[in-house]
Amino acid sequence: MRILKILAACLTVVLFAACATSGKVAMAPSSSPGHEIFYHIMPRSFRDSNGDRIGDLKGLTEKLDYLHGLGITSILLTPLQPSPYYHNYFATEFKAIDPAYGTMDDYFAFVRAAHAHGLKIYLDQEFQYVAEGHPWWEESKCKPDTPWAGYLLWRDKQHCVAEYFLDKPKWKGYDGRDYGIAMVDLKQPEVQRYFRNLMLFWIDPRGDGSGVDGVDGLRIDHMMDDLDDKGIEKHLFADFWTPMFRELKARRPNLRILAEQADWGYGDDWLKRGHADLVFAFPLRAALSKLDKREIVNAIRTTEAKTPRGKRQVIFLENHDVDRYMSVVGDDPARARAGAAILLALRGEPLIYYGQELGMRGRELKNIEISDGIQIPVREAFRWRADLEAPGSAIWYRGGERWWGERYNRSHDGVSLEEEEGKADSIYYWYRKLLALRRDRAELRAGSQRILCDDRSSLLCILRSDGVRQTLLIVNLGQTEARPGLDAAIARTGWVDLLDGEAIVPADAPLRPMQVRLLGTR
């Protein structure tokens, strides 16, 4: 969920986030840091299996071969719990699966199938709030003596007025209905026990420490030390998150915690005092959106300086809260390829948002009534077929509203797996090639990183090394042809072109604007 810090200052914008081969490989998912490549999925928009136009767990399970063949190692899912909102943040029940997605049996079948493919699963968790309809709220409203009354924060002794999310009593959904969102009292011991037991269920459903059918990681949405900066739920790092993480890892030592740092900064406090294992590289994403060399270099260096040893950053171009990268770069395929190459060559653990590898487009709607529908354009259906309305397409948002009439994805627009997978010049093919290189070259996964061409030129040069193996990325981010200023030792290295048939290429040859050169030693 986006921190909504802009909204907190001005409630005029609401961003509900809230707010190769394709065969199976039966193996245990790898837990080696630096080896993960995340694929971020909103299940509702991915693949429909039963014809209701809503993406579901069976549809996702049917497409695990695709993700494995793409080179993905880990699937990050947005929440699965029932909610009045389409994105499933702000739950009405925590230990449950939204019926639109299937059953708990469907969920466990998906986890088993993913693990059989060697894929890890991360579940998104957001339990700092509940939506209207949750029994903690419905059964305790104006009833301060009921069992659930202490689970929420209230503004009055009679428990008739809840402490609302961002102080707004109602939030509109894309379907036109309004719902309240109340804050959970995370300081209450019974609440803490409830959520620790809930997380233990997701990571170790058999309860025996084996982790069989359990998820491999958790994403903590909107993680804060002082919830919503209100001063009423303070010191959550020490009092809530750290004890929970400690207990979860006692059960599953290899479990990884991915925190969405609420301020969208560098995340160092979340990695240190919050004891998360990973955070999102938001400042680096902002720099990559501009494709400005100096900003990218500064973001890389500051990110590295602020990341403690043993902790990691998830690097990304897109997620469910931000505009699609192809739209950000002005529908320019060359700029989109440059951004993808930098993403998959940098140190960190890359994340690809579903459809990013196809060049799907989308921007938040402007000049529209505030609702969670504002972000539907960045959450449109994954494009399996050229025909947007072909069976399996998860076009749950189809109707007469702006998010359908002004949708970015259109039938036969060239932006679909069916239209791209046979074309060597497609964005999809570009991602496949880059992902294969990251899989095959250890220095791209876990090697050292050094910035070269540290000058006023437009050339971004990144050297990755692992022993004698090296990969050199050079991207011309300028508007004119330029030659990289490399020292003689680097220039004389026997580089081969990793993108074009392994021909011998001089490292200091000039590059056209937005040209990408990826060189490697044998």
Could you read off the pLDDT of 121-139 as tens digits, one per residue?
A: 999 999 999 999 999 999 9
Tell the burial category of 289 from Cβ atoms under 10 Å away from its Cβ (0-12, 13-18, 19+): middle
Q: What mean pLDDT comes out for the span 405-430?
A: 97
- Whether residue 14 is predicted with pLDDT greater than 90 in this model: the reply is no
285-304: pLDDT as tens digits: 999 999 999 999 999 999 99
- Whether residue 8 is predicted with pLDDT greater than 60 in this model: the reply is no
Q: Residue 106: how many CB atoms within 10 A of its CB?
A: 16
The four Cα atoms 334, 335, 339, 345 give a dihedral, to 10 degrees, of 40
- Whether residue 17 is predicted with pLDDT greater than 50 in this model: the reply is no
**Identity (one letter) of the amino acid at 274?**
G
Residue count of the chain: 522
168-190: pLDDT as tens digits: 999 999 999 999 999 999 999 99
**Omega before residue 18 within 30° of 0, cis:** yes
Return the H-helix or E-strand segment holding 294: helix 293-306
Query: What crossing angle do the helices spanning 427-440 and 333-345 adopt, rounded to 10°?
Result: 10
- Whether residue 11 is predicted with pLDDT greater than 80 in this model: the reply is no
User: What is each CA distance from 169 to 177, 414, 472, in whole angstroms?
Assistant: 13, 44, 53
Q: How confident is the model at residue 1 (pLDDT cuts 50, 70, 90)?
A: low
Q: Sketch the domain layout of the chain as residue ranges.
A: 5-438, 447-520
- Whether residue 317 is predicted with pLDDT greater than 70 in this model: the reply is yes
Query: Which tokens belong to 12?
Result: 């005029």
User: Hey, what CATH class is 5-438 in?
Assistant: alpha beta
CA distance 228 to 1: 13
CA distance 374 to 377: 7
Mean pLDDT for all residues in the chain: 93
**Identity (one letter) of the amino acid at 440?**
D
Q: Is 361 helix (H, G, I), strand (E, B) or coil?
A: coil
Q: What mean pLDDT comes out for the span 178-203?
A: 97
Place of tokens 């709220």: 137
Range with the lowest mean pLDDT among 245-259, 347-361, 488-502? Answer: 488-502
The four Cα atoms 63, 69, 70, 74 give a dihedral, to 10 degrees, of 70
Q: What mean pLDDT comes out for the span 331-341?
A: 98
Q: Where are the beta strands (DSSP E) in 3-142?
A: 38-41, 74-77, 120-125, 129-131
> Which residues partner with 433 through β-bridges?
none
> Which residues partner with 77 through β-bridges?
41, 123
Q: What mean pLDDT comes out for the span 433-449?
A: 95
Q: Where are the beta strands (DSSP E) in 340-479?
A: 349-353, 448-452, 459-466, 469-476
Cα angle, residue 478 at apex, residues 472 and 482 outer, rounded to 5°? 65
Helices (H), 333-426: 333-345, 402-405, 417-420
CA distance 175 to 169: 18
Q: Is 263 helix (H, G, I), strand (E, B) or coil?
A: coil
> Which residues partner with 482 through β-bridges?
511
**Identity (one letter) of the amino acid at 419?**
E
68-124: pLDDT as tens digits: 999 999 999 999 999 999 999 999 999 999 999 999 999 999 999 999 999 999 999
Per CATH, the architecture of 447-520 is what? Sandwich (2.60)
- Whether residue 464 is predicted with pLDDT greater than 90 in this model: the reply is yes
Q: Which pLDDT value is given to residue 234?
A: 97
CA distance 28 to 270: 29
The four Cα atoms 332, 377, 323, 67 give a dihedral, to 10 degrees, of -80
Contact 394, 44 (CB under 8 A): yes
Cα angle, residue 45 at apex, residues 220 and 40 outer, rounded to 5°? 40
- Whether residue 215 is predicted with pLDDT greater than 90 in this model: the reply is yes
Q: What mean pLDDT comes out for the span 477-491?
A: 94
Backbone angles phi, psi at 197, to 5 degrees: -65, -35
* CA max distance for the chain: 78
Tell the burial category of 496 from Cβ atoms under 10 Å away from its Cβ (0-12, 13-18, 19+): middle
CA distance 161 to 509: 68
- Whether residue 454 is predicted with pLDDT greater than 70 in this model: the reply is yes
> Which residues partner with 261 through β-bridges?
223
